[in-house]
Amino acid sequence: MNTILLKRGEDIELKLMTALASHDCLTAYQCVAAVYGNHTPAAVSGMLRKLKTMIEKGLIGRKESGDGIYRYYLNTAGVRTINVHINFEATPGHDRSYLNSSRHDKLINKIIADSYTFENETRVLGRGALRRIQNGKFSDIDGMLGVRDGDKFKTVKIYAKIDNAGPVGVDKLARVEKRALQLNTKLVVISNEFTLKLLGLKK
């Protein structure tokens, strides 16, 4: 096999497993977006072949969630493989509930889409990563996007999913606004139009 193609295949696997570790689980559509940044026919067909191969190798698994869509997650072998490449401790996803996974799709789709709007290299940390990185220091937010700035990554956006404008939602908004100020970065709140208006985030 062509060694360049083999290396590219390995790079794709690592990028996909990093995304799965970061977000806990992804749909096939989100896997394509996370790796390729677009949904061309070639990207979709290539990802579907890659997902099948990685399932056969035991690196990942898949489970049907409550919305009838299959979501992919890391198996133990995938965790062992990717943990030497990331700065947080990934965990297998087969023991989690996927009944309400669709609740996070809007958040995940937004973070992935934003990561491809910068010219420099980006780094995405999703809910899964933020629960485990630095002993949960950033678990009050649901996503973080960094852009390479020299030898480091500079945080340019943090994300918070707020489901309602009740006391819990208001408290979370206050906490993530404070976090955005601490990091000197932009806060992106993911919610429905009605909740955004009640929180004073949309006219």
Please state the pTM of the whole predicted model. Answer: 0.90
For the chain (203 residues), the mean pLDDT of every run of 10, in chain order, is 56 94 94 91 92 97 90 96 92 78 93 93 92 86 94 94 94 96 96 92 78
Give residues with Cβ within 8 angstroms of 189, minimum separation 6: 159, 160, 161, 162, 173, 176, 196, 199, 201
pLDDT of residue 4: 46
**CATH class for the region spanning 1-101:** mainly alpha
Q: Is 66 helix (H, G, I), strand (E, B) or coil?
A: coil
* Per-domain residue ranges of the chain: 1-101, 118-203
